[in-house]
Structure 1
Amino acid sequence: MNLKEKINIIFNLYHEKTAILDESRTLTYRQLDELTRGVAAGLCSRGVGKGDVVAIECPERADSIVLMIGTIRAGAAYCVIPESYPDHRKEKMKLLVQAKVSLHTIAEAGGGEEAALPETERQPDSLLYIIFTSGSTGEPKAVAIEDRSIGKIVNEPSFYQGETMGQLAPLEFDASVYEIFGGLLNGMTLKLISKDDSLDCDTVPERFDGIDTLFLTTRLFNLYVDEAPELFRKVSLVLTGGERCSVHHLQEAARYCTVLHVYGPTETTVFATAHRVDGTELQMPIGKLFDQGAFMIVDGDNLAVPAGQQGELLIADSGVMRGYFGNTEASSRALLELDGRRFYRTGDTVYLDAEEEIIYVERKDRQVKISGYRIELGEVEKCAYSFGLQKDCLAHYDGQRLMLYVKDQVNLEQLRGHLRSRLPEYMVPTVKVVDIIPMNTNGKTDISEIINGNSMASNNRNEIMQVMTSVLKSEIAAEQTFLDLGGDSIKAMEIIWQLGSKGYQLDLDMLFSRTLGEIADNVSHG
């Protein structure tokens, strides 16, 4: 796909159709053509061209999209740097990608709406964009994607239905590539949805009115199924992925619209596999490659594992990145030549089912070691869902305790009994009921906020456990119950009275039905 020619064809074909729609304004394809030509002309006049990177630091999303397309028409690559980032981080990112120009507004680009489109050249291997992804060392890595890579996203017909695409993803997140370029290069209207609007479940059905196709991260998808299910009666097609899925949530939404469970690391350009949810799944596949290419499931020696066995997923399709910009060492670790193909190591553990669809098991880095045992956190979550949870849950190990956060208001004694009947003792978590499982700006689980919340609660927890120890007059462990330690009604009233004097509200039912760790985590204060 010649990207520059494709943009020109679409702009001419849909001249007066609405291209971008948000609360403050509407842009037709003709207006988008004029604005992006102006940006391209302005950038070229400043010496920007093939191989250069333009940093986009614009606070307005519609304007940022104009700057992104204008940069491409100038023959250069874009890198979106959120205005909200700390100055030190922004400067570090611009230095890493060797940004030639930084743009904060359309006017800053220059050129004007009447500018002629400059004579620039784009090839399949032209650098298209750079997106940062978190690195295991704590340093973000700059993923460099070429023109050829987005062809598989733009040209996949099952990814588009109707006339209007919802645009929710932050522009520094790779799902925005699907929304913006997939939507516009298929002649659709982009309806921009703000973060605040996307999280207000009371108004979501109204705000999303008129949208036919959209992508939702796993957490946001689950939230809408739980809190705004009427949304799925309004849309035609929903793509969802990004984290381990809930079979229940996917099948519930699929009763009302087409749901595609998609998968793909940033390094393979947005999506690499897809599965259409049909409601009969016992295990939810991430599907098959939809692009011409290959995949392998390998062991630690990079040898293919037998069918049905677990291993690391390697992907070789047209979306595989050029590499990590400015980091050849990280690139060589992530990219592997096998059988004449260039594979990306996903770091994801998967296996192939009887229908030859890929089943996602877990991130390799979500394996934790507790008391010498290696544990897949996803297995704990899967067991909890089998109890009948209807809402989100999340297993997390903080280095000391294995926790399970659940949103359902459930009988914790029954849930704990269910977990103990199916998991070995070292895998039975402490359960905590929460109102929300926090999301970061990309719509994925915000583990750091959970960890910070745990840290803030640790003083309260220690105080509660000290009271328990003093009354029961014995060493206690979080997984033990009050009755396990010989508690009786007199000791129960003493614990309730002492905690009450410190501002903690505990009743007999909680004291008798939960482990001491669960009491310490769930008892209310104030």
Structure 2
Amino acid sequence: MTGSLLRALAGHAEAAPDRAALVTSGRQLGYRELYREAAAVAAGLNRRGIGRGALVGVHGEKSAEAVTALLGVLLAGAAYVPLDPSAPAARRRGLVGDAGPAAVLGPRSRMPRLTAELGPVRLLAVEDLVEQHGDEPYRPAEVGPEDLAYVLYTSGSTGRPKGVCIPHRALDAFFAGVGPLLEIGPESVCLNTSALHFDVSVVDLLLPLLHGATVHLGPALPLPALLLDLIERERVTHLAAVGSTLTLLAQQGDGLTGRRLGSLRRIMTGAEVLNPATVQSWLAAAEQVRVVNGYGPTEATCLVVAQPIAEREPGRTAHYPIGTPLPGVTVAFRAPDGTVSEHGPGELLIAGDQLMTGYLNRPEEQAAAFLEVAGVRHYRTGDLGRRGPDGVITFAGRADDEVKIRGYRINLNEVRGSVESHPAVAQAFVAAAPDGRDGLALACVVRLRAGAAVDQAALAAHVAGALPRYMVPREFVLVPEFPALSTGKPDTVRLRELVGAR
């Protein structure tokens, strides 16, 4: 049945009106109040002729008003388009121009800035809608399976951002598939660390609200001490964060040593290849936690394959598999010669109800993103992997993570893993950079652990002890912190610039 989140919110408002739904630095809203405000936004949109089939932009600043806006857009039958508040004004203006939203919602305090930055688009203050329509009875709009729930823009690594259109059919399938894995319930306390324009927010914001849990909206910047203090103080049970954020938290000060993390039950992570040492640090610090390594592109509603990790293995260096498909998801593999198989190796192809409708206003790119296999539409991920005899899938990097140097084919993830196995290294990034002698050479950006010291020669010797010499980076650039995107992921464009890679 379509619209499970909308029905659940109405049910929680009726059955547990005073249970905390959303907690921010300045407000706490119970389910009744959250639903009332979201319904007021929906009523305000409908009265202005904005409803089913429309797109509505939402200024994605992490606040109660932003969450109210997202939910209100859904209740109105429309789809939300979150705008990254930290992005340059020109980029946000470009996204608004591309999406053509019927309106953009934001907090009253940001209206002057949004007016100046976004150009000729209808702006509505969330507080105004709540004040004007907060006492009106509201019946949520009926939505169909193919009606859009949200449009998320990709990072634009191709040079032109693409709007990924996720329908209610996909969102409902995701909720049904991932729910049993995370076991979130009304007594759960969940920490939102992801930006609202990042697809992980579906996991750490919408999914907890579906199940009647309490969501603490984390700060816009993942400040390690602040987040760890919050986890301890509020006895957080569920946390979702990209791998680099988990590493940052695990290495803050004395790491997780001495932290009271016994309340944690699930940590959902993914979006990057996991550092095994990071996973083991969390497993050692929180005796009841299970880490879930998730894999999935935005085009398939965040997560399609998952691997629960509970084994305490101090000193582990082997990378974790990404696991098995969620219920309703099919994964196949396409070899370089175009043949498709169940076990691979090859490019991961994804089928099932979690797939996007397509890219907004990008018919050519949309056509290239899909491949029909035996009459079934599959999404081409560009990621490489294989399925083992036990049915578990391992990730082998992206197709463009493989380079050829001096005739040797090299997987950059393998080199990065070797560098990160050095005890002084916290995080590494490897790229192929122009080289006057060989055309291309490997170069590596390294962030050291707090208090650690190591020189380039020692790092090169360490890698040479594990990999062939042609896989040893010629240059190591040491940095205090990795540049990051607003989503928390490493900024690969800036990292490549540090080593002169193209």
Sort the TM-score into its range (normalised by shorter chain).
0.7 to 0.9
- Aligned mate of 2:461, from 396, 417, 420: 417
Q: Which residue of structure 1 lines up, in the alignment, with residue 23 of structure 2?
A: 21
Question: 1:204, 1:231 within 8 Å by CA — same for their partners in 2?
Answer: no
Q: Which residue of structure 1 lines up, in the alignment, with residue 110 of structure 2?
A: none
Cα distance, 1:320 vs structure 2: 0.5
Q: 1:444 to 1:76 in 2, by over 3 A?
A: same
1:293 aligns with 2:329: yes
Q: 1:356 to 1:231 in 2, by over 3 A?
A: farther
Q: Distance in 1 between matches of 2:477 and 2:93?
A: 40
Q: Which residue of structure 2 lines up, in the alignment, with residue 261 of structure 1?
A: 293
Question: 2:291, 2:308 within 8 Å by CA — same for their partners in 1?
Answer: yes
Q: Which residue of structure 2 lines up, in the alignment, with residue 445 of structure 1?
A: 490
Q: Which residue of structure 1 lines up, in the alignment, with residue 143 of structure 2?
A: 122
Q: Which residue of structure 2 lines up, in the alignment, with residue 427 of structure 1?
A: 471
**Unaligned segments of structure 1, at least 5 residues:** 456-526
Q: Which moved more, 1:186-195 or 1:87-96?
A: 87-96
Q: Which residue of structure 2 lines up, in the alignment, with residue 495 of structure 1?
A: none
Which letter does structure 2 place at the counterpart of 1:191? Answer: H
Which letter does structure 2 place at the counterpart of 1:195? Answer: A
> Residue deviations 1:102-151, cap 9 Å, x none?
11231344642112214621112111000000345310100000112122
CA RMSD of aligned residues (A): 2.2
1:107 aligns with 2:136: no
Which letter does structure 2 place at the counterpart of 1:115? Answer: E
Q: 1:95 to 1:108 in 2, by over 3 A?
A: farther
> Residue deviations 1:214-250, cap 9 Å, x none?
1010100111222242375442211111111112222
Q: Which residue of structure 2 lines up, in the alignment, with residue 403 of structure 1?
A: 443
- Aligned mate of 2:339, from 297, 303, 309: 303
Q: 3-state SS of the aligned residue for 2:340? A: coil
Q: 3-state SS of the aligned residue for 1:202? A: helix
Cα distance, 1:56 vs structure 2: 1.0
Which residues of 2 match residues 244-283 of structure 1 at below 5 A? 244-255=273-284, 256=286, 257-279=289-311, 282-283=318-319
Q: Which residue of structure 2 lines up, in the alignment, with residue 207 of structure 1?
A: 230
Q: Distance in 2 between matches of 1:449 and 1:322?
A: 32
Q: Which residue of structure 2 lines up, in the alignment, with residue 509 of structure 1?
A: none
- Aligned mate of 1:160, from 180, 183, 194: 183
Q: Distance in 2 between matches of 1:350 and 1:135?
A: 24
Q: 3-state SS of the aligned residue for 2:153? A: strand
Question: 2:149, 2:171 within 8 Å by CA — same for their partners in 1?
Answer: no
Cα distance, 1:63 vs structure 2: 0.5
| TM-score of the aligned structures, taking structure 1 as reference length | 0.81
Cα distance, 1:76 vs structure 2: 0.5
Bigger radius of gyration, 1 or 2? 1
Q: Distance in 1 between matches of 2:283 and 2:391?
A: 22
- Aligned mate of 1:383, from 402, 418, 423: 418
Q: Which residue of structure 2 lines up, in the alignment, with residue 508 of structure 1?
A: none
Q: 3-state SS of the aligned residue for 2:409? A: strand
Q: Distance in 2 between matches of 1:453 and 1:411?
A: 17
Q: Distance in 2 between matches of 1:411 and 1:234?
A: 40
Q: Which moved more, 1:36-45 or 1:436-445?
A: 436-445
Cα distance, 1:355 vs structure 2: 2.0
Which structure ranks higher in relative contact order (CA pairs < 8 Å, sequence separation ≥ 6)? 2
Question: 1:154, 1:186 within 8 Å by CA — same for their partners in 2?
Answer: no
Question: 2:242, 2:269 within 8 Å by CA — same for their partners in 1?
Answer: yes
Which letter does structure 1 place at the counterpart of 2:68? Answer: V
Question: 1:51, 1:77 within 8 Å by CA — same for their partners in 2?
Answer: yes
Q: Which residue of structure 1 lines up, in the alignment, with residue 170 of structure 2?
A: 149
Aligned identity (percent) is: 27
Question: 1:224, 1:231 within 8 Å by CA — same for their partners in 2?
Answer: no
**Unaligned segments of structure 2, at least 5 residues:** 107-124, 436-440
Q: 1:57 to 1:191 in 2, by over 3 A?
A: same
| TM-score of the aligned structures, taking structure 2 as reference length | 0.84
Which letter does structure 2 place at the counterpart of 1:262? Answer: G
Q: Which residue of structure 2 lines up, in the alignment, with residue 501 of structure 1?
A: none
Which letter does structure 2 place at the counterpart of 1:158? Answer: L
> Residue deviations 1:483-518, cap 9 Å, x none?
xxxxxxxxxxxxxxxxxxxxxxxxxxxxxxxxxxxx
Q: 1:283 to 1:348 in 2, by over 3 A?
A: same
Cα distance, 1:344 vs structure 2: 0.8
Which letter does structure 1 place at the counterpart of 2:387? Answer: L
Question: 1:380, 1:427 within 8 Å by CA — same for their partners in 2?
Answer: yes
Which residues of 2 match residues 38-117 of structure 1 at below 5 A? 38-57=40-59, 59=61, 61-104=63-106, 105-109=125-129, 111-117=132-138
Q: 1:184 to 1:386 in 2, by over 3 A?
A: same
> Residue deviations 1:196-223, cap 9 Å, x none?
4x22x33432122321101010100111
- Aligned mate of 1:187, from 195, 212, 229: 212
Question: 2:148, 2:166 within 8 Å by CA — same for their partners in 1?
Answer: yes
Cα distance, 1:298 vs structure 2: 1.4
Which letter does structure 2 place at the counterpart of 1:14? Answer: A
> Residue deviations 1:323-372, cap 9 Å, x none?
00111111111112212322111110111224221111111222233344
| Aligned residue-pair number | 452
